[in-house]
Structure formats: structure tokens, C-alpha cells
Structure 1
């Protein structure tokens, strides 16, 4: 995370507002305390010039303090998510058990590939293990079909998380419905055109002819049977809009908050504990692909003094949203939460007490030492 911390943003702004009144009191006190000095200046400069200088200094100090405490503030958060894939099955997405993002992501993307034969063909024609980029008919370079599908599925997961979070935030408090607006699928034509996963999953079931097609009869690859449907909506403060920027990021632009969410996949391979892959996922490490997804969230608090204090709860949802994303999406946080190094040591002791091999033979044959290679704090 870079820039100022996202934590306690609204509380900081409330404190800043209170300090403005504290400053006014201090200015009065200091002006009285400086009476002796001003009387000397009065004798030297005269009444008019002394009054003008004094008021000018007081005004400048007050304006400077107000500006520094209530200017627009920017915050940026970067979250590194990850998922696994099956090298032997066209890089079918795999979940890391217990890691919420990877479980939801794999479920969403597998359901999409199961239902939509056209997208499935694109995925298998340009799987993740191949080149990241392809050349279009116009001669321009673009992401391969599989990379684009990964990005769209990941963006859908974060949008669904945002939708659920907003519902929880506005349902548990006393909010005036007249100060809220509901953004629905019908208002997101530009986003639907650029995210086929969102478009398909939020489409009316009656308009989805492939919803019962789970198995590709041509090659027998099964991508799972979980059917996905969600009525997409976002509840936001009145005056807020959601749209796609030219950069590809999503923008939520409201009266007090401007929030950008970008999703990227550049082909980087995160480090998963080999023994986690072997003993928890039940797979061979060499047959398991590992892929990283980067989420960047940039927030700007607009002119805090313009929004009444009573309205700030309508805009404070993004603070808890970013905290939830850090906990649920960051793959290093997942390994830290389960304390895998300690769990690994316990499992090793159990295996050895039973006379079992803890480190698989294929790792030993390749000279791998999979224990203690990953520093969660990196």
C-alpha cells in the first residue's frame, strides 16, 4: 500500500473539522495574548496600519490551516491476489482451499467456460501457458483470450464483493432512501460490453441458451457444474455514477468520493508453498500453474467541508471495503492467516511419527527443499 493509509479516513476528516473550531478559539486567545505587542506596534505604525497587518496575519494563518486540513486527499491500495491452474487440463482454474478469492474466482471462471462454448474455445486455443499477447487483424498487440478472460472474471469478483459490501453497509444503518441511488445492469452498457463474464452471469436466465451445457462433448473437458447467476446492482450515495475509463479502470464518481478500481494480469507467477500444493490441494507442484492478479484501488476524498458531517456515513463504506479486500483477496495474507510455516512443521511431525514421507519423491528427485522458502513479510 502506498500513499496515506486507508485506515480511519473518515475519523481523520472529522477530527480535522473539529480542529477548525479549535483553531478559531486559539486565534482569539493568541490575539488577546499579543495585545501588548500590538500596542507597541500601534504606537510605532498608527491605528490603521496596525489593524490591517494584524487582520492579514490572522486571516493568512487561518486560511493555511483550513487548506492543509481539508484539501482533497488521495489514497492508494494495491492488492496481490492469486489462483492456480491445471497444466494438464488447458489450465483449468483451481482454487486454494480456504483462500476465499481463489475459491470464488475459480468457481466463476469455470462456470463461465462450462456454459459458454465460444469463450471455452478461446480459452483452450490460447491457454495461460502460451504467450500473453496476440496480434489482432489490425496488426495491434492485445492480451490473449485467456488473459482477458482472467481479468474479466477477477473484475467481476471484485464488483460482486463491492455489491455485497454496499448492501451490508446501507442495510445495517439508518439511511434515508432518498439520499441513495441504485445502479443496475441496464445502466452499465459500457461496462457490460467490455466484461463478458459480468454480462453473461447477470443476464436473464431465459436468455442464456448454454446454461445447461456443462460438458464439452468434443474433447470431454469438464469445467464444473456450478451454474452462476446474480442480479447485479450497486447501492451508492445519490449523485454517484459508475463507468469505464479509457485506461480500462472502473470509476465510481460521487459527490464526496472518487474511487478507481483497476484489474491487471501480467503473467507473473506468485510463490505457493510446494507442500501446501501437495498436501492441501492434493496436486503435484510441477503440474500446477500459479498466477497473480493485481488490483489497484485509488480513492480521492473531495472537499470535506462541502459535505455536512451527517452525510459522511453515506460515503464511509469504502474504508471497510478496502479492509475487507485486503483480508479476503491478498494471497500473502491468506498464508499468514493460516500460519502455514507452523502448520507445515506440525504436519511434518505427524507424518514422521506415522513413518510417512512428508516431502514427495518428485521434489526429492529434483533436489527441491520446499520448507521455509517463502517470507510472508515480503
Structure 2
């Protein structure tokens, strides 16, 4: 089903001031490039158009833009959660952090993140997503296809924020086994490992054998 340009609306930072006041994370990462750490005040402008994505060493910038159906609205709640409402559905997004520690494989930190595990504190963060669908969407004929993005969005959120899914996608058990085998393999400078031969102890032989025959 094709989507007309008038069916969508793009929300910029200036369009949601009440949301930014109640959500410090969104307020920080929706800032312009010139207001972000690691970038110069002159960054963010280009003769070829507006900068959408940029890297500067360890710093990453992605221009904030929220695209929703034109007849939807978004607001921030006092607890920091977001509420998106429309004629066909209501969606709520929340983040819960209670300071609970989380366990991450040490090899993952050293080999993938490239940091020492002792320098990192690991915590558990829970992402909540609720969707309430109205009857008008179910009985709206072919119009329901217009809102199929809700299901794909929920799947993408779960895949992006679930650490266990991330490890499964990269086949971490096999990667961890390969890293272990590589550490056990001697380097080329050391040369091949010498084989150690263990000989069985000799069978004891008596000094003199006596043979007696009886007639």
C-alpha cells in the first residue's frame, strides 16, 4: 500500500519541547551537531545539504527526526516515558533503571568492545513498549496495512536492545570458542610446540634364571 506525503509528519527537536523537558536522554541526543561534544560549532553545515550522519573519532552524530502518521501526537510524561496517540492506536515507551548489576562475558568486553572489564560497570536496563490497537484499525479494511510499521518497529526495538539477541545474532558461543583456540595456539615466533615423549618403564629382568628338572 502506497503512502502519500500528506499521510506522514516529521517531528524535529523544536516540535516537541514538552517531551524534551521530561526526557533528559532525548534532550541530549536530539541536539544539533554544533551543540554535541566532539564536534566543532561549524559542523553540521554542508554545501551539499544537511548532515544526517557524521563520525569524529569516538563521537557519533545522527540527526534527530521522528516520523509519525500525520494524525498522531506525542507527549512526554512526568516519569520520563513517551506516549504516542493516534486514531488507530496508542503507544507507550518507557525505560526502567534500578541500578541492578548485569553480567557480560569478559571476552566480549576485551575483544568486541575493546575495553578492560575491570574499567566498566555493567547494569541492567529494561525497555518497555506497549501498544493498544483500536477497533477502527481492525475493521478499517485495507487501511490497516498502513499501520503495519507498528509490528516491525516493535520487533526492531526488541532486537536492538536485547543483549541476548545480540549475542545470538553474532553467534557468540562459536566466536568465544574460536578466540579460546587462538589464544592456545603458539605464535610463529615461538615455533611449533615440541612433542613430549613418555617412555614406558622397562620390564625388570632377573639377574639369573635357574631351571630345575625333576626325574
Bin the TM-score by the shorter chain: 0.5 to 0.7
Is the helix fraction higher in 1 or 2? 1
C-alpha separation in 1, matches of 2:32 and 2:13: 11
1:196 to partner: Cα distance = 4.0
Question: Taking structure 1 as reference, are residues 197 and 277 closer, same or farther at Cα in structure 2, changes over 3 Å only?
Answer: closer
1:306 to partner: Cα distance = 7.0
1:341 to partner: Cα distance = 2.1
Question: Taking structure 1 as reference, are residues 204 and 303 closer, same or farther at Cα in structure 2, changes over 3 Å only?
Answer: same
C-alpha separation in 2, matches of 1:287 and 1:200: 24
Per-residue CA deviation, residues 179-233 of structure 1 (Å, 9 max, x unaligned), is 3333333331111222345335444566x497539xxxxxxxxxx6626362x33
Corresponding residue SS for 2:122: strand
Corresponding residue SS for 1:251: strand
Is the strand fraction higher in 1 or 2? 2
Corresponding residue SS for 2:118: helix
Unaligned runs of 5+ in 2: 42-56, 188-215
- Normalising by structure 1, we get a TM-score of 0.40
C-alpha separation in 2, matches of 1:295 and 1:304: 28
Q: Does 1:212 align with 2:212?
A: no
Q: Does 1:344 align with 2:172?
A: no
Query: Does the aligned pair in 2 maintain the 1:256–1:307 contact within 8 Å?
Result: no
C-alpha separation in 2, matches of 1:181 and 1:307: 24
Query: Does the aligned pair in 2 maintain the 1:257–1:315 contact within 8 Å?
Result: no
Q: Does 1:311 align with 2:143?
A: yes
Counterpart for residue 187 of structure 1: 15
2:108 to 276, 285, 306: 276
1:346 to partner: Cα distance = 2.3
Query: Does the aligned pair in 2 maintain the 1:253–1:259 contact within 8 Å?
Result: yes
Aligned residues: 173
- Normalising by structure 2, we get a TM-score of 0.67
Structure 1 stretches of 4+ moved >6 Å: none
1:248 to partner: Cα distance = 2.6
Corresponding residue SS for 1:255: coil
1:320 to partner: Cα distance = 0.4
Counterpart for residue 61 of structure 2: 228
1:307 to partner: Cα distance = 5.2
C-alpha separation in 2, matches of 1:314 and 1:300: 16
Question: Taking structure 1 as reference, are residues 321 and 347 closer, same or farther at Cα in structure 2, changes over 3 Å only?
Answer: same
Counterpart for residue 176 of structure 1: 4
Q: Does 1:286 align with 2:118?
A: yes
1:263 to partner: Cα distance = 1.1
C-alpha separation in 2, matches of 1:236 and 1:354: 56
Q: Which has the higher contact order (CA 8 A, sep 6+)?
A: 1
1:256 to partner: Cα distance = 0.7
Question: Taking structure 1 as reference, are residues 351 and 176 closer, same or farther at Cα in structure 2, changes over 3 Å only?
Answer: same
C-alpha separation in 1, matches of 2:90 and 2:21: 23
Counterpart for residue 60 of structure 1: none
Query: Does the aligned pair in 2 maintain the 1:237–1:314 contact within 8 Å?
Result: no
Q: Does 1:299 align with 2:127?
A: no
Question: Taking structure 1 as reference, are residues 178 and 277 closer, same or farther at Cα in structure 2, changes over 3 Å only?
Answer: closer
Counterpart for residue 211 of structure 2: none
Question: Taking structure 1 as reference, are residues 292 and 353 closer, same or farther at Cα in structure 2, changes over 3 Å only?
Answer: same
Question: Taking structure 1 as reference, are residues 190 and 347 closer, same or farther at Cα in structure 2, changes over 3 Å only?
Answer: same
